[in-house]
Structures are given as structure tokens and as C-alpha cells.
Structure 1
């Protein structure tokens, strides 16, 4: 069986609701991050080097130019979500955000926004702005980088916020009708399978509309890269990641949408694990594990049914 027959994926969820393919178009708004510019810290999170997932050259292009470029790369869709991904895409004056978001929304075939940010960078003015777009009928996703619900780990990786901050902003956003997608990392230093499953349960207890899973990437230019080069840190092997990720998916209610079950990066930026270079490898193996052991929600008696997304 294919992955979307076992997991409630964002692609299938959007297709069911819009009647056709809807793709995300990744944008770079030229934002900074309070954990890098000294507002709350310097150096960023210990795993982070944004160049590993964001094309720095796009910063010199307008939002419209970036949308045109990205749409031209995707031939299978006619509708799109504008995805502000790099750094902290709510970290600016609200009028600046409004201008940028609305430049994206006025583009042809854009049906909504995905806004990637930190839980400690979403003031009420931003929530009010996003809720206005919800009221206008746009698809709005607030993508919050939590990574783990373990506050000790959050301190070790220099996130600069705690789980309680994430829980508060998630509740406030969802109360306004804004969908929340929670980013989680499997393989963080000192964390175990138990930690990953406890994080999932805490996230589900607060409430979330989507989840994005990532295996830990050790990338050049990050603090973790120094530890890895010194032999003090290891990234998860493929088998370990697949085992943990598939158990988390099987422990997730079927109404929660998975935006991603693995992520990819490339050398020379990627140092470890090298299996992350192939974006399909983990997805294929997770699909096999779920086909063998049970689909999304099967560990809680709420197994995902393919018919729900046809």
C-alpha cells in the first residue's frame, strides 16, 4: 500500500477538500530569528543552519517572483499554498507581515498561507491578522517549531522557549480558527523512543491539527556539527528512525494531518545521517512498517481509513 493509504497526509487532505492537487510553494521572506540576532540568544538552535533548507539567493527576489519561479517547477498542481519557511516568518512588524502575506495571497491560484515560526514569536497582532485571512476563506496553517516537549532538551538545544509557551500559543491560535502544524524532531541528543512518544502525547493533549516529523540532521555550520566531528554525537540510523516514526504515527488519531513523515538534506551541507539525502527512502520504509503493523491511529483503536480521503 502507498503511504497516503496508511497516513492522513496533507496532500490527500487538501485534494479531498479542494477537489484537485494543492502544493506548497516555499518562500523566503528575508526574516531573521530572535535566537540568532541577540534578542533572546545568539548562535541559534544547536541543530540549525538555515542554508541547509533555504535558498539564500531567494532573499533578493520579491514574493511574486519567488511564487512564479516555484509554480513553474511544479507542473501537477493548479492551486497552491504560499509557504513562508525560512527562519521565523512572523518576526517583523505586523504591517510588514501584512504586506508580505497579502502580496502572496493576491497571486493567482494561491488558496492560503503556511507560516513557519517559533511559539514565542506569535503576538496577538499576528494571530489577529491570520484570523482575518481565515475569516476571508483562506487556508491558513501556523507551523510551530516545537521539536520536543521535554523542557530539559529544549534548554540543551538552545531553543529559548519551553513547552508551556508552545501550548499557550497553540490554544490561542486554534481558538481563532487558525490551524496549527507542530514540528517534531526524532533523534535529539539524549532523547529516547519514550521521550518521542511522550512528546507526541503532550502535543495531542494540547490539541493540534497537523504534525511534521523530522529526523535529526547534523548540518555544516551548526553547533551539533562540532560535537559530531568530535565523535560526541550520532544521528539516528534509518531503522531506528523508521521504528520510532511509525510508532508515533500509529499513536496519532486519524483526524490529525501529517505534513511530513521525514525530511531531506544534501551534501556537502549534510554531514549525517547520509540516508537523509534520499527523501523517499524513509517514506518508503515507514510505509512498509505501517502496512505491516497498522495504519495511523491503529495503536489507539482509531485506524486511518483510505476511504476518508477519496
Structure 2
């Protein structure tokens, strides 16, 4: 299975830039979130249990120790020798700039770390933080800002207690683009209140607006969340594997070739996962996407999609 035959994946894009494999190393820097600490809300998004997707969610190790442990695993698994420090858990721009700089500098001082990938929310990227990230880019580091949007629908964002709307995303990317920073937009397929094809519509919007990367993720219903309680009461119905595969294939074939896909699916901690059960099997999902793209046989960017007005756009890329 060679997804790069059909998709501009993150791994492929980095290999083209650096001539070798480049892999993200996840870091938990003990941040919190304005939707948890009372600034905007308490309890967070209804789907969120950070332990379900971040392997270091409970870690208290220093940044250098977390990176060293991650490097050992990645070298054995993929052979990669260059890395991006991926600040993943919760909101990784939610602190004073001086504190952020200290953490980011620690990561970039580690041998073979060639850049940063910073996971955050659209409402937590003040200009001073963007200027800091641009300064690293200007020094030659690979820098990605990963914006967790999840949906372009304000109604859906309110439904999952996201704590921000689409307007905050629009404001954030305007300021990101002013600094020519690379940014990846996260979208979750299967959120309650959205149709099966809603994620494809969200992808069209953010790509039209200039997103340089996409990260796609099926909804996971995991223990310890409000959504788990809603699911148990029949208020949430997860997508089927086939529905998810069709949505992803539609997004990929409409995407422009320069768009980078950082992720096509995601798995949850199987001890926490309640539904849908197919999300436990990453390679089964990826293989199903590959087979669907092979059946259609259009590489990324070959199918044009007409968006609002007379503009014609496309979508592209994955992080595998």
C-alpha cells in the first residue's frame, strides 16, 4: 500500500524537502486549555479525553526526556533520523510568550530536531506567539502551527462545547498568513449535528482560505467524556467505516496537489475507546482509503471542485 501514489502525505512532503525521513515526536508540556480552566468553560469539549490520543498525556518528564524516548521508538519503527518536536497535548500556545520560548528552545536544542509542530486552538494564537514562531522559521527551522478547528459550523462547535466559533479561526489564519507561516487545520468527521458529508464541506472552506495542511480524524467516543454519556443514551451515532472512507476519498480527490495531509485517520487508546470500534485499527482504515482511491484512480488534485462564486479549488496531503 503506497498512499503517496494518490496523496501528498506529510512524510512524503518532508522527504522531498530534506532528502530523508522526518517524523513528529509528541511532547506533553503540561499545558491546559481555556475551555477547561474556566477562562471560557469548564470540562472542555464534549469529545475530549486527552489521554485517548496523546500517549504522554500523564507524563511529567522534561522535554528532552520525552523527545529522547520518542526518538528511540521512532528510529526502531520507521528509521527516521530527523524530527519535529510536536507539542500535542491540550493548548500549546496557552502561556506567556517567555514560557513558550523556553519550552520551544529546549526542544530545538536537541540534536536532530529540525523544527516544531505546535498544536493549539484558533482563539489562542496572539500576535506575540505568531511572531515567535515566525522567528524560528526565519532561523531555518521547519515550523507548523496546527489549528484545531474540527468544523466550520458554529452550530456544531456550540453543540460540542468547543468554546470558539469559526470567526476566531478566520481571524487567526489572517494573522498567520500575514507572517507566511505554515498551518495545518484539524477537522473531525462524524460530530453530532453534522451530515455525513459535512467534513468535506469544511475541508473545502479551509482549503479555499489557504490552509497549507489538513489533518482528518474520525470522531472517537471515549470513556470519561460528556459525549460518552450522550452516546450511551442514543444521542450520538458514530460514522461507519465506509462513510468515513468515502468522505476522506472525496476530500483527497478534490484537493490541490500542494496541500499536505498530516493525517488521514486517528486511533484512540483501546482501553478508553467505546465507539466506533473500527477506529482501533489504523491500518485497516488506511488500507480501505487506499483501496477506494485505487478504485477511483484519481491522484490528489485531479478532480476539480467548484466552490463559492466562480473560484475553482482542490485539496491535498496526509501525515503518515
Give TM-score, length-normalised by structure 2.
Answer: 0.92
Structure 1 residue aligned with 2:274: 271
In the alignment, structure 1 residue 226 sits paired with structure 2 residue 214:
no
Deviations, residues 118-138 of structure 1 (Å, cap 9, x unaligned): 000011110010000010010
Distance 1:194 1:235, change over 3 A: closer
Which of 120, 142, 147 is the matching residue for 2:145? 142
Measured in 2, the distance between the counterparts of 1:194 and 1:82 equals 33
Q: Which ranges of 4 or more aligned residues in structure 1 deviate by more than 3 Å?
A: 55-59, 301-306
Alignment of structure 1 residues 233-252 onto 2, 5 Å = 233-252=236-255
Secondary structure of 1:83 counterpart: strand
Distance 1:303 1:38, change over 3 A: closer
Indicate if the aligned counterparts of 1:115 and 1:143 stay in contact, CA closer than 8 A: yes
Indicate if the aligned counterparts of 1:8 and 1:304 stay in contact, CA closer than 8 A: no
Indicate if the aligned counterparts of 1:6 and 1:305 stay in contact, CA closer than 8 A: no
Indicate if the aligned counterparts of 1:186 and 1:245 stay in contact, CA closer than 8 A: no
Unpaired stretches in structure 1, ≥5 consecutive residues: none
Measured in 1, the distance between the counterparts of 2:48 and 2:226 equals 8
Structure 1 residue aligned with 2:177: 174
Structure 2 residue aligned with 1:17: 17
| Count of residue pairs the alignment pairs up | 306
Task: Please identify, of 55-64 and 223-232, the stretch whose mean Cα deviation from structure 2 is larger.
Answer: 55-64
Unpaired stretches in structure 2, ≥5 consecutive residues: 306-312
Give TM-score, length-normalised by structure 1.
Answer: 0.95
Measured in 2, the distance between the counterparts of 1:305 and 1:5 equals 12
Distance 1:304 1:44, change over 3 A: closer
Root-mean-square deviation (CA), in Å?
Answer: 1.8
Task: Please identify, of 53-62 and 297-306, the stretch whose mean Cα deviation from structure 2 is larger.
Answer: 297-306
Distance 1:44 1:305, change over 3 A: closer
In the alignment, structure 1 residue 70 sits paired with structure 2 residue 74:
no
Distance 1:174 1:29, change over 3 A: same
Structure 1 residue aligned with 2:261: 258
In the alignment, structure 1 residue 209 sits paired with structure 2 residue 201:
no
Indicate if the aligned counterparts of 1:28 and 1:59 stay in contact, CA closer than 8 A: yes
Structure 1 residue aligned with 2:36: 36
Indicate if the aligned counterparts of 1:58 and 1:66 stay in contact, CA closer than 8 A: no
Structure 1 residue aligned with 2:302: 298
Q: CA deviation at 1:303?
A: 8.7
Distance 1:57 1:289, change over 3 A: closer
Secondary structure of 2:36 counterpart: coil
Deviations, residues 144-200 of structure 1 (Å, cap 9, x unaligned): 000000111111111111112111211211221210000001111121134222211
Measured in 2, the distance between the counterparts of 1:305 and 1:28 equals 29
Task: Please identify, of 283-292 and 132-141, the stretch whose mean Cα deviation from structure 2 is larger.
Answer: 283-292
In the alignment, structure 1 residue 105 sits paired with structure 2 residue 108:
yes
Distance 1:232 1:193, change over 3 A: closer
Measured in 2, the distance between the counterparts of 1:305 and 1:141 equals 16
Measured in 2, the distance between the counterparts of 1:275 and 1:198 equals 24
Indicate if the aligned counterparts of 1:143 and 1:183 stay in contact, CA closer than 8 A: yes
Secondary structure of 1:299 counterpart: coil
Structure 2 residue aligned with 1:50: 50
